[in-house]
């Protein structure tokens, strides 16, 4: 394995997020993956490129993954994790993307000594434009951390925190963030139709406006506030719209409440 190649992976759960990461890793040249996924349909899009097994007992004997990516629902962790304890060892790091599941509980379920990294990615990983924040658990070696960094870096940007509690607000902001942006596209489309635009034009406009603004944000050195100001002509149309959206009780308060609620839910999921 070279410095930049990806290690053999075991993906546990190939749903929306596990599938998005797998798509990004395959695009980046991952050449060996076993996927534990009870629903064959979830892996249909990756046929011929990965090996699917329905349960941990069916993992090919001798398969030694560099990383085991835990992408099942948090509520399934307690029942599912103990079957993977036999894979724990210096050659293997567990990378959990489950919202709320704490490192201590996962280590206990994996036999007590497993190297566990808790990470929070987001679905733009499917097009290798994700953002993941990761936190290493006790006993994670520099090599295991470097391997996780390489894996996560293959599907977007990566940041590391040493304090596990920070993953809860990260989950609220960047983990769920794409949903808020997609909601904006939905609402923009609906409002366009309300103003008399044809439905297909409204849909194209809303998608292209959100996608184009994201691309400009990514490419620009200017702050997001300055990019907003650049659109807002004095006494013009945008100013009228922003007076509605930026009223203290409107978007500023709603988004603060939304992020606080999601952060709290992430803490609750820790059990
Ligand atoms: N959807 C998202 O945008 C994000 C999700 N996450 C986390 O990723 C995890 C998965 O979320 P989603 O992909 O949205 O859910 P999902 O429901 O789409 O995927 C879960 C998958 O796990 C499979 N599964 C169920 N039991 C299993 C078992 N015992 N062994 C192996 N596979 C099993 C299911 O068939 C399903 O395909 C959750 O813990 C969530 O908190 C994290 C960041 C973002
Ligand atoms: O909604 C959830 O619980 C997961 C975590 C962040 C995005 N999806």
pLDDT band at 271 (very low <50, low <70, confident <90, very high): low
Distance from residue 256's CA to the centre of ligand 2 (Å): 17
Contact 110, 84 (CB under 8 A): yes
Residue 188 belongs to a domain: yes
DSSP of 164-226, one letter per residue?
GGGHHHHIIIIISHHHHHHHHHHHHHHHHHHTT--HHHHHHHHHHHHHHHHHHHHH-SS-HHH
Same domain, 34 and 162: yes
Longest dimension (CA), the chain: 70
Distance from residue 221's CA to the centre of ligand 1 (Å): 35
Q: Is the pLDDT assigned to residue 50 strictly greater than 90?
A: yes
Dihedral through CA 260, CA 263, CA 265, CA 269, nearest 10?
-170
Residue 172 belongs to a domain: no
Does the Cβ of 124 fall within 6 Å of ligand 2?
no
Distance from residue 171's CA to the centre of ligand 2 (Å): 7
Q: Mean pLDDT score of the chain, rounded to an integer? A: 95
Specify the number of domains making up the chain. Answer: 2
Instruction: Print the domain residue range for 260.
Output: 177-269
Q: From 21, 45, 261, select the one nearest 129 (Cα to Cα).
A: 21
For ligand 1, atom 4: residue with the closest CA: 17
| pLDDT attached to residue 124 | 96
pLDDT band at 182 (very low <50, low <70, confident <90, very high): very high
State both tokens at 119: 């990470």
- Determine the atom of ligand 2 nearest the C-alpha atom of 265: 3
Residue 184 belongs to a domain: yes
Q: Is the pLDDT assigned to residue 240 strictly greater than 80?
A: yes
| pLDDT attached to residue 4 | 67
Range 225-237 average pLDDT? 98
Same domain, 202 and 155: no
Is residue 235 a known part of a binding site? no
Range 162-166 average pLDDT? 97
For ligand 1, atom 39: residue with the closest CA: 98
Does the Cβ of 171 fall within 6 Å of ligand 1?
no
Does the Cβ of 80 fall within 6 Å of ligand 1?
yes
Residue 40 belongs to a domain: yes
């Amino acid at each position: 394995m070279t410095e930049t190649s990806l290690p053999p992976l075991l993906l546990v759960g190939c749903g929306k997020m596990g599938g998005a990461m797998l798509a990004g890793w395959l695009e980046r040249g991952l050449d060996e993956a076993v996927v534990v996924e009870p629903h064959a349909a979830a892996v249909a899009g990756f046929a011929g490129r990965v090996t699917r097994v329905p349960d941990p007992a069916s993992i090919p004997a001798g398969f030694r993954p560099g990383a085991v990516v835990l992408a099942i629902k948090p509520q399934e962790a307690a029942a599912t994790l103990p079957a993977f304890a036999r894979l724990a060892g210096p050659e293997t790091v567990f990378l959990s993307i489950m919202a709320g599941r704490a490192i201590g509980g996962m280590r206990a379920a994996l036999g007590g000594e497993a190297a566990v990294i808790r990470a929070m990615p987001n679905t733009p990983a499917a097009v290798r434009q994700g953002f993941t924040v990761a936190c290493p658990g006790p006993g994670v070696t520099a090599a295991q951390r470097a391997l996780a960094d390489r894996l996560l870096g293959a599907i977007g940007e990566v940041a590391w925190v040493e304090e596990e509690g920070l993953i809860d607000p990260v989950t609220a902001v960047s983990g769920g963030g794409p949903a808020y942006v997609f909601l904006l596209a939905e609402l923009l489309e609906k409002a366009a139709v309300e103003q008399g635009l044809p439905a297909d034009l409204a849909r194209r406009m809303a998608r292209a406006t959100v996608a184009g603004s994201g691309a400009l944000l990514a490419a620009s050195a200017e702050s997001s506030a300055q990019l907003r100001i650049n659109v807002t002509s004095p006494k013009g149309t945008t100013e009228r719209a922003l007076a509605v959206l930026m009223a203290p009780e409107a978007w500023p308060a709603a988004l603060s409440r939304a992020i606080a609620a999601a952060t709290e839910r992430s803490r609750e999921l820790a059990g």
